Amino acid sequence: MTSALVLVSTPIGNLGDISQRAIDELIAADLVCCEDTRRTGRLLSHLGISTRLMRADEHTEHRAAGEVIQHLQAGQRVVLVSDAGTPGVSDPGQHMVELVLAAGLEVSSIPGPSAALAALVASGLPTARFVFEGFLERRGSARQKTLLAIAAQHRTVVLYESPNRTAATLRDLAEVCGSDRRAVVARELTKLHEEFIRGSLGQLIEWADRSIKGEVVILVEGAPPPGEPTDEEITEAIAAALAAGGSRRDAASEVAAALGVGRSRVYDLVLSSGDSTSSE
Ligand code: SAM
């Protein structure tokens, strides 16, 4: 095995989800960086692995990267794991990767469990394109800005949330998206009490009106695509285009292109608007 920093995904609940490649990397590594040495120590002892552990959590990631770079420059292989799932996804990892790459060294990954993907694929919501938002800001204008962006988003949105904030977040989402928007809460994925609650945001708020335990992913269906413009909207756009000058023919072409509707429909409305102030 050549020298590299390897990001290894670990189980998000069910230890059976560890892959053979993940085990091989953990055995072969000279050093395993992790958020919590006790927690990862338990995983390694469950697997019968005794590789040296070093803490690299959100506070120590930068400092740990310096040491990791020295190991890599000495030709060693270093693994980075997080407490659960894929490191770097709402978990430490990104900064270490940036620093290792900046030092001209190799980075690789062993894919595996990720709560976002496990929730998405079984949610029943569109999966072809999706947006991962991670944890919402806790409060203030930054949270409101993200909520509004989610409401306007046409792709499925995936959010991480703590159980005790789930009800409030569902209420905030319903406020901006409307309570009819489809959504899913995926709870305790891969564990004994795994469940998917599928419905409208309004129904999920009712479901959340009790104490929620365990880990939670929230998914929200994308906003519906904008509908065909009405005749009134087209007529208004025609009036604006005519007021800006130009012929009725030009106004029709301009409005058809801007609103994405057929030119003949627009031209019929130009004629029926009876505007006689503009020339052909
Ligand atoms: N890096 C991890 C990953 O790849 O999924 C995510 C870590 S983030 C700190 C923890 C959040 O992930 C939790 O608050 C929850 O939103 C989600 N999560 C993790 N495990 C989960 C599980 N078993 N079921 C549902 N959500 C989970």
Q: What is the pLDDT of residues 123-159, one digit of tens each?
A: 999 999 999 999 999 999 999 999 999 999 999 999 9
Alpha helices in the chain (DSSP H): 20-28, 37-47, 61-73, 94-102, 115-123, 140-152, 166-177, 201-207, 231-243, 248-259, 263-272
User: Which of 91, 132, 217, 218 to probe ligand 1 with, by most ligand atoms within 8 A of CB?
Assistant: 217
For the ranges 31-40, 122-131, 166-175, 218-227, the lowest mean pLDDT is seen at: 218-227
**What rounded mean pLDDT belongs to the chain?**
94
Nearest CA to ligand 1 atom 19: 115
Do 160 and 200 lie in one domain? The reply is yes
Centre of ligand 1 to C-alpha 273, Å, is 57
- 17: CATH: 3.40.1010.10
Contact predicate 169/138, CB 8 Å? no
Strands in 182-187's sheet, in edge-to-edge order, are: 130-135, 156-161, 216-220, 182-187, 195-200
User: Which of 215, 218, 219, 220 to probe ligand 1 with, by most ligand atoms within 8 A of CB?
Assistant: 215
- 210-226 burial, b at 16+ Cβ within 10 Å, e below that, comes to eebeebbbbbbbbbeee
What's the pLDDT score for residue 274? Answer: 66
224 beta partners: none
Q: Is the pLDDT assigned to residue 275 strictly greater than 70?
A: no
pLDDT confidence of 279, banded at 50, 70, 90? very low
What gap in Å lies between CA 217 and CA 159, rounded to an integer? Answer: 6
Do 89 and 35 lie in one domain? The reply is yes
Chosen domain end from 61, 85, 113: 113
What gap in Å lies between CA 77 and CA 43, rounded to an integer? Answer: 19
Nearest CA to ligand 1 atom 16: 160
Domain count across the chain: 3
The count of other CB atoms within 10 Å of the CB of residue 8 is 26
Look at residue 280 and tell me if it is in a domain: no
- Domain range holding 238? 231-272
Q: Which residues line ligand 1 (CB under 6 A)?
A: 12-13, 82, 84-86, 89-91, 114-116, 160-162, 186-191, 215-217
User: Which of 39, 90, 212 to probe ligand 1 with, by most ligand atoms within 8 A of CB?
Assistant: 90
pLDDT confidence of 109, banded at 50, 70, 90? very high
- 132: CATH: 3.30.950.10
Q: Is the pLDDT assigned to residue 20 strictly greater than 90?
A: yes
pLDDT confidence of 271, banded at 50, 70, 90? confident
pTM: 0.85
Centre of ligand 1 to C-alpha 56, Å, is 18
Share above pLDDT 90 across residues of the chain, in percent, rounded to a whole number: 80
SS3 readout for 193-237: CCEEEEEEHHHHHHHCCCCCCCCEEEEECCCCCCCCCCHHHHHHH
Q: Decide: helix, strand or coil at residue 6.
A: strand
pLDDT confidence of 270, banded at 50, 70, 90? confident
Nearest CA to ligand 1 atom 23: 189
